[in-house]
Amino acid sequence: MYPTNHKTIFVLDHTPYFGISSENPIDFDVTKGPRGPGYVPLPPICKSLWTCSVEAAVEYCRIVWDLFPDGKLVRFVVSDSAAHILNSWIANQQNLNHILNGLCLIGGVRRGAGGDVVGLCAAIEALGEPSPAQAARPSTDRHFQNRGRIICITSARDDVSLRSLAEIALNAIVQQNKRTSSTPPTTSTEASSSSPVLTIHYCHLVVINVIPEKAETLVHNQPLTEMGGGLMGVEVIVSRASQLATLLGRLVLPHYKLSTTTVTGIPMKEEQNASSSANYDVEIIHSAEAHAGLRATQSPTEAMESVVLRWWTPRGSEASAVSCGGAVWRVTPADVASRPSACLVNFLLNGRSVTLEVPRKGGGRSASHTLSAHAGELWISALGGRAPHDDPPALSDGAGGRVTDYRIKEFGALIQQNRLYPLRGSGANARARSRLQRHTTYWPLTISSTLIFNLGSFVEPLTRLVVQESLTDEELEVCRSVLHMLLNMEFRLEVPSSHLPAALRGKWSGMRREEQWRQVWGEVEALVRAHAASATHRTLLHTLLDCRAHNHAPEGESNRASVIRATTDSPLSPGGVASTTATTSTANSEVWAPRNVLDALLGAPRPPRRPDFAGRMAAGSRPATLYQHLQQDVDASH
Amino acid sequence: MRAILSVSVPFTRDYDTIRAKLLQLEEGDKTCIENALHGVNQLVMSEWGLQIPMQIILVTDGSSGVGAIGRNRVVQALPLPPLYPVRIHVLPIVSPLDPSLQHAMPIYQKIVELATSANSNSMKAMSRGVVYCPDQLSLPGITTAVSRLCEQQYAEACRWLRCGRLEARVQLYPPAQAVVEGGPPTHPAHHIHIIGFITQQDWGTPPTISRHLVLPQPQTFSSTDRRDSYTSKMTSKENQSSEGGSNEEDASDPSKIPNFCVLLHGALKVESMAAVVSLGEGWWGALSAVCEPSRARRSCLVLCALAPGMHAAPWLGPLDQLGPAGEEARTTNESIVLKAARSYTSGGCGGAAWARPHALLADVQKVLRHARKLPDKTQHLYKELNRLRRAAISLGFTELLACVGAALERECAALPANAPAECSLQLAHAAAALRDPRAALDAKYTVQPLTTNFGQSRSSSPRHSN
């Protein structure tokens, strides 16, 4: 679906007639008071018809491009003895600078024949060229319509010659459509030629007949008339050259569904007299949708006029502009060069926002819109009524609301590590998500559910480095040294919770030292295992498993246990130890982190699993008994 | 529904008020659907504005209020579609065999259809409403119809919010709607994936199509098991038995089970960041901690859904190209926002505003102001002069250059006797340069200041060394 305003083409008449004066004198001495003797006043000057039409067309474009940085395209065709096409539909040629540079090369009106017909025909050809968006559309789009508008600024002798101009245009469209449909390859085989010509489904032709200030004309206004069975709509508007810019400034509103707001009562300080401030009005242009809320109760004639909204100065306790998350629309000042406009624009661009209110006689105040700037652009937003959830349930009543020890600070750090930046190229979103995936693989939500993330500087290098996609050898060494340090601490019989901040110790104080260490090693293993994707990570995991083997492997456990518990427990299958054994060995049986199918296909093949402990295999599902032969030996010796 | 209409109960969540009022309602004289809809439109527009999706339930006795002839008139007089996005459901309290229902049905169908037809706000198009006819005119029949309506139209929308491996089941309120924009409707995906984070300031306030409260829901057990799988593996029997009692107690109270949503809310708030989320194929949004500007003043997690499409937040560039900055996380606070150049940001816009005489006069006065402050403003004079010249050339406004030339000569003539010689030389040079055909036609040509050595010596005696 491409609306008519997707493509607009200006055809500017550059024939000698447009070199004549607009007869609308501009006096440059108007602001000066009396001067010294011998002061020769400057003669007032008049713009040519050409200058008037160029500046009016440029002003139209300024509004369009300010409000629609993409999607609304404008092209210029200058017509004299030949058609000079100033830009194409490509995005980087859709700006004022490009047009003004092109116009510099065209220059003023020169002698020679020519007319508007050649330009009009070039414009119709241009309408057949697809815009980048149209070229990229899926070929299956059945509702596709190639529509556009041609604004032809010219001057004709009478209504008859304008009618023949319209007929020439219609004929050109019909002929071009015939040629397009007679070359089927463009639709069926797609893009054998570089840019296939599109059929024109509708063309809105606006002919503006320009006349100097005092001249008479035989051309009359003509409302929109359909021609060629709805293929073309023609409209004729007669305008004095001096009024041309105003006319186009008004025409742009219905063409792009815009409307204007007059911001009234803007307090501004005078440069000369900074102590007093005067109130000014600034007119701004934006999408008509911004007024939809106000216009519900207005008559159609009122809707044509500029809406007057008053600058809202917050009084006392009244809250200033509340942030609203509704729709926003771009804004551009109607008169970009006026001082009050520039003042308001700078105020907004400096980061402040303005609330506007509907002026009421009764004295009640109701904020209706806000103006603000973002990224160097001005925006208006409508403050619409109530929020749909003005009594939101408190988070503390909901799921997880009564938990008070979330690791908010740590998640803040994770947020900072996963900030997004505008990059080039595709797949950026996917990269961001896989990075988040890595960073959250082992991530306890609460402080009380983790020991290792609370041990601070001991473990921090490990937890920081292990989430990386790969580890360098130095980083691997740092991680290993953390593991060795933990191991040493355990051998020195230190209690992990003694390294916690005092406030956190309470929860762990009830837990035996061995339990705490088991938790520490369990967490470290879960963390490292979750990241065992790269070779260095796998090396780290092996180091970790070796570390655990020192004190948690069956043999080690029973050796140490025999020292401590020799008097109380029998070395033969003590309950607690047996359960630990079973747990550890199940953990060992799955050395590798779970991989998805793609990883498995792409990644290095995993070495075969380590053979299971023979005793366990023999025991089946029952707890394996260690040192069975000892018992046998004892029995035998008896 | 009467020829006269009145608002019985304003928008409220107080069930008892509605119930009390319902008992007091009196029968009216005539069914007048279009009047009622006019009234509803006014009520909605004055209270909610035009951005909030509404649902209207038309409860009626099954008569249309008009005969066969008046039917077309009623359909044409219907104030539909309204400005705000809406879905209208009809609930006729009438036997399905009642002849008046057969007669009114086309109108109901039309109302349902028109309510969602090509809205002025195409962005907010909604799926259609439904006519809920009870199977029989009895209390159970109507209860069934109403519960069918509630199930279909007011179902809680639960989705999964995922941030890497962390996840939480959440309810979106109001439920996210499929977005119809020209082509096929874009449906919100079942999973909301967090892509990454961005400062609130950079995120700004892009055009959103809807806002939803994100309410954490109790986790289903399968997921908690999976996520905390390490604990079940690692904690010993002993540990479980000692804490078993409290665990069971916690499990029965969802508010005591840690929920990712609450953590996310807290961290976003502390960091004043927003989480960029993917709502579906080519559809983005943001989660942020928002303090609702209402009487409750409660901070909650809010999801803003952008319009589908990668250009929905223009200052962030194409949204599918937002990505991580590499492994060594940049923590600089510089803004990542792309600055746009608009006519009003660039100061003057090269004569594009000269259609208004005051803009032209201001630019000419600027040149003359600098001319009066020579030799200090020599560089400024030529800079402005070249700007003016360029603009005049692009507009084909050669008359202006002659006029400014004359004005400069006049300034030259009006110089006081004790003025430095450089002033008159520069003014004469500038005026002559404007009459040069190159200066009047070639935009690439730049008028340069006259090279004098007065600049360095500043001696008042005229030495024509050049």
Contact of A389 with B248, CB cutoff 8 Å? no
In chain B, which residues have their Cβ closer than 8 Å to the Cβ of A244? 355
Where among B153, B173, B208 does a domain terminate? B153
What pLDDT score does B310 carry? 82
Both B57 and B190 in one domain: the answer is no
Q: Is residue B228 part of a domain?
A: no
In chain A, which residues have their Cβ closer than 8 Å to the Cβ of B417? none
Both B48 and B20 in one domain: the answer is yes
Residue A503 has pLDDT above 80, yes or no: no
Residue A149 has pLDDT above 90, yes or no: yes
Provide the angle, in degrees to the nearest 10, between the axes of the packed helices B99-115 and B33-48.
30
Cα–Cα separations (whole angstroms), residue A214 to A238, A239, A244: 13, 12, 15
Cα–Cα separations (whole angstroms), residue A311 to A287, A290, A315, A365, B354: 20, 17, 12, 11, 28
Both B64 and B165 in one domain: the answer is no
What pLDDT score does B233 carry? 36
Picking from A322, A441, A469, the nearest residue to B293 by CB comes out as A322
Both B80 and B167 in one domain: the answer is no
A54 touches chain B (CB under 8 A): yes
Q: Is residue B336 part of a domain?
A: no
Both B170 and B274 in one domain: the answer is yes
Average of per-residue pLDDT across A431-446: 87
Picking from B48, B264, B391, the nearest residue to A385 by CB comes out as B48
Question: Would the CB atoms of A579 and B351 count as touching at under 8 Å?
Answer: no
Residue A203 has pLDDT above 60, yes or no: yes
Average of per-residue pLDDT across A156-178: 90
Average of per-residue pLDDT across B236-243: 37
Question: Would the CB atoms of A375 and B41 count as touching at under 8 Å?
Answer: no
Question: Would the CB atoms of B344 and A421 count as touching at under 8 Å?
Answer: no
Number of C-beta neighbours around residue A399 at 10 A: 26
Q: Is residue B326 part of a domain?
A: no
Query: What's the domain range around B138?
Result: 15-153
Both B187 and B314 in one domain: the answer is yes
What pLDDT score does B314 carry? 78
Tell how strand A377-382 and strand A354-357 pair up: unpaired
Higher pLDDT among residues B246 and A375, named by residue: A375
In percent, the amount of chain A with pLDDT more than 90 equals 16
What pLDDT score does A238 carry? 93
What pLDDT score does A481 carry? 85
Both B161 and B121 in one domain: the answer is no
Q: Is residue B244 part of a domain?
A: no
Both B184 and B209 in one domain: the answer is yes
Round to whole Å and give the CA distance between B412 and B398.
22
pLDDT digits (tens, 9 = 90+) for A584-621: 333 333 444 555 565 555 555 554 455 566 666 666 66
Lowest mean pLDDT among A539-543, A614-618, B24-28, B113-117: A614-618
Where among B93, B127, B153 does a domain terminate? B153
Residue A285 has pLDDT above 90, yes or no: yes
Both B52 and B145 in one domain: the answer is yes
pLDDT band per the 50, 70, 90 thresholds, residue B81:
confident
How far apart, in Å, do the first and last CA atoms of chain A sit?
Answer: 98
CA-based nearest distance A173→chain B, Å: 27
Round to whole Å and give the CA distance between A19 and A284.
33
What pLDDT score does A534 carry? 78
pLDDT digits (tens, 9 = 90+) for B253-289: 777 888 898 899 999 988 889 999 998 888 899 998 8
In percent, the amount of chain B with pLDDT more than 90 equals 6
Domains in chain A, please, with CATH?
Answer: 4-28+44-133+145-182+197-255 (3.40.50.410), 259-382 (no CATH), 403-632 (no CATH)
Residue A100 has pLDDT above 60, yes or no: yes
Q: Please name the residues between 141 and 180 in chain A that touch chain B, using a CB distance below 8 Å.
A: 141, 143
Question: Would the CB atoms of B344 and A326 count as touching at under 8 Å?
Answer: no
Higher pLDDT among residues A398 and B251, named by residue: A398
Average of per-residue pLDDT across B246-256: 61
Q: Please name the residues between 312 and 371 in chain B that touch chain A, using a CB distance below 8 Å.
A: 314-325, 327, 329-331, 336-345, 348-362, 364-365
Average of per-residue pLDDT across A228-239: 90
Both B422 and B302 in one domain: the answer is no
CA-based nearest distance A633→chain B, Å: 32
pLDDT digits (tens, 9 = 90+) for A521-552: 888 888 888 777 778 888 888 888 887 776 55
Number of C-beta neighbours around residue A508 at 10 A: 19
Best of B12, B232, B344 to disrupt the A interface (most A CBs within 10 Å) is: B344
Round to whole Å and give the CA distance between B457 and B448.
20
What pLDDT score does B382 carry? 87
CA quadruple A457, A458, A461, A464: dihedral positive or negative? negative
Residue B298, C-beta contacts closer than 8 angstroms, at least 6 positions apart: A392, A394, A395, B291, B292
pLDDT digits (tens, 9 = 90+) for B167-217: 888 888 877 777 766 556 677 778 899 999 998 888 877 777 778 888 888
pLDDT digits (tens, 9 = 90+) for A238-258: 999 889 999 998 899 989 988
Q: Is residue B348 part of a domain?
A: no
A465 touches chain B (CB under 8 A): no
Lowest mean pLDDT among B48-57, B126-135, B191-200: B48-57
Where among B277, B301, B321 does a domain terminate? B321
Residue A412 has pLDDT above 70, yes or no: yes
- What are the tokens at B152? 């279909």
Average of per-residue pLDDT across A501-505: 71
Cα–Cα separations (whole angstroms), residue A255 to A154, A273, A288: 20, 42, 11
In percent, the amount of chain A with pLDDT more than 70 equals 75
What pLDDT score does A612 carry? 61
Global ipTM: 0.71
What pLDDT score does A557 carry? 41
> A246: nearest CA in chain B?
B355
Both B59 and B111 in one domain: the answer is yes
Return the ∠ at Cα B81 (arms to B77 and B84), rounded to 5°: 135
Picking from B209, B259, B395, the nearest residue to A399 by CB comes out as B259
In chain B, which residues have their Cβ closer than 8 Å to the Cβ of A62? 343, 349, 352-353
pLDDT digits (tens, 9 = 90+) for A57-80: 999 999 999 998 888 999 999 988
What pLDDT score does A78 carry? 92
Q: How many domains does chain B fold into? A: 3
Contact of B126 with B177, CB cutoff 8 Å? yes
Residue A402 has pLDDT above 70, yes or no: yes
- Helix residue spans in A256-331 (DSSP H): 292-295, 300-304
Tell how strand B208-216 and strand B283-291 pair up: unpaired
pLDDT digits (tens, 9 = 90+) for A453-479: 877 777 788 888 887 877 888 888 888
Q: Is residue B135 part of a domain?
A: yes
Residue A207 has pLDDT above 90, yes or no: yes
What pLDDT score does A107 carry? 80
Question: Would the CB atoms of B342 and A403 count as touching at under 8 Å?
Answer: no
Both B145 and B163 in one domain: the answer is no
What pLDDT score does B193 carry? 92
- What are the tokens at A97? 């600078």
Q: Is residue B10 part of a domain?
A: no
Average of per-residue pLDDT across A171-199: 69
In chain B, which residues have their Cβ closer than 8 Å to the Cβ of A52? 355
Task: Give buried/exposed letters for B146-160 (b at 16+ CB in 10 A, else e).
Answer: beebeeeeeeebebe
Average of per-residue pLDDT across A221-236: 90
> B391: nearest CA in chain A?
A100
Higher pLDDT among residues B222 and B4, named by residue: B4
Higher pLDDT among residues B302 and B210, named by residue: B302
Average of per-residue pLDDT across A397-425: 85
Highest mean pLDDT among A240-249, A475-484, A495-504: A240-249
Round to whole Å and give the CA distance between A114 and A111.
10
Label residue A627 exposed, middle or buried (CB < 10 Å: 0-12, 13-18, 19+): middle
Residue A120 has pLDDT above 50, yes or no: yes
In chain B, which residues have their Cβ closer than 8 Å to the Cβ of A336? 343-344, 349, 352-353, 359
What CATH number has the domain bearing residue B316?
2.40.290.10
The per-residue pLDDT of chain A, averaged, comes to 77
